[in-house]
């Protein structure tokens, strides 16, 4: 199986005449590596950190405003994507041409967009960043399993938003740690997963070898839990399939952060 986690960022600014202009941006390699590093961490740990300031940048200066969880709003999950907004007011320290919007976590630049407009000293600029996290899946099943009806990473996307807005749940990490094969609310097989990752990469793999089911039942779903958060990635089969303790299952998922 393969999953992709993608990010679209858009900065919006209100001009002096009251109109809104939008500028498309992108995540930096630092952000993508931080995210992948936490998903595949050898030991569950916090690598991705909250966005704590949004800045206007010029050729020789940068003016910023602090971001808190209270600045985030309208975070909604849809099929395949989750989006949210954060708005701050930045005060210009001088007359200059703004050439970029930047969103930081500490000293780490996470998101950036190019722009070009002029500000004057003490001008207050309202800046909104719209962040969209999307996930997509390519699913391959073998050995008599039915096809997959649906695949979702809704809860993984939600946890990423919680972290970026500074509201990480206690004990929750993006690190994928446990696979569950089950029937409705009953686990028929639960096992830890191996995480394969090269430091500095933006992709990796989780897997577990062929393992016998611990209980007989009608298999309907496969879920992968994060540390401290359930069903970060889930798959629902088109129909249930009867399994016994003599049956075995294996799982491999390659995840790309783009």
Distances (CA, A) of 49 to 14, 154, 204: 28, 20, 20
The pLDDT tens digits of the residues spanning 51-98 come to: 999 999 999 999 999 999 999 999 999 999 999 999 999 999 999 999
Q: How far apart are CA 119 and CA 124, in angstroms?
A: 9
Whole-model pTM: value is 0.95
Residue length, the chain? 258
Q: How far apart are CA 41 and CA 171, in angstroms?
A: 15
% of the chain at pLDDT higher than 90: 90
Q: Specify the pLDDT at position 17.
A: 67
Q: How far apart are CA 187 and CA 218, in angstroms?
A: 10
Q: Specify the pLDDT at position 145.
A: 76
- Residue ranges of domains in the chain: 2-134, 140-257
The pLDDT tens digits of the residues spanning 103-140 come to: 999 999 999 999 999 999 999 999 999 999 999 998 87
Of 13, 11, 19, which is closest to residue 85 (Cα–Cα)? 11
Residue 43: CB atoms within 10 Å: 9
Confidence band, pLDDT 50/70/90 cuts, at residue 215: very high
Query: CB under 8 Å to 216, separation ≥6 — which residues?
Result: 188, 242, 243, 244, 245
Q: Specify the pLDDT at position 1.
A: 82
């Amino acid at each position: 199986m393969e999953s992709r986690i993608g990010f679209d960022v858009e900065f919006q600014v209100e001009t002096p005449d009251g109109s809104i202009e939008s500028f498309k941006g992108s995540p930096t390699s630092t952000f993508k590596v931080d995210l992948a590093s936490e998903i595949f961490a050898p030991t569950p740990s916090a690598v991705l950190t909250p966005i704590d300031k949004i800045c206007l940048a010029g050729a020789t200066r940068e003016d910023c405003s602090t971001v808190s969880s209270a600045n985030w709003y309208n975070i909604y999950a849809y099929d395949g994507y989750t989006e949210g907004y954060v708005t701050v007011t930045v005060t210009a320290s001088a007359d200059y041409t703004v050439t970029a919007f930047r969103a930081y976590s500490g000293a780490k630049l996470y998101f950036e967009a190019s722009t070009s407009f002029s500000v004057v000293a003490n001008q207050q600029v309202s800046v909104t960043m719209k962040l969209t996290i999307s996930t997509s899946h390519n699913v391959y099943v073998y050995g008599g399993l039915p096809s997959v009806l649906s695949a979702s990473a809704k809860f993984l996307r939600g946890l990423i938003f919680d972290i970026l807005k500074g509201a990480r749940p206690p004990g929750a990490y993006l690190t994928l740690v446990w696979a569950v094969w089950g029937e409705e609310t009953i686990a028929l097989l639960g096992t830890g997963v191996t995480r394969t990752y090269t430091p500095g990469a933006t992709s990796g793999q989780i897997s577990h070898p062929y393992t016998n089911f611990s209980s007989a039942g009608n298999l309907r779903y496969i879920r992968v839990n994060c540390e401290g958060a359930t069903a970060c990635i889930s798959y629902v089969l088109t129909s249930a399939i009867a399994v016994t303790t003599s049956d075995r299952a294996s799982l491999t998922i390659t995840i790309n952060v783009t």
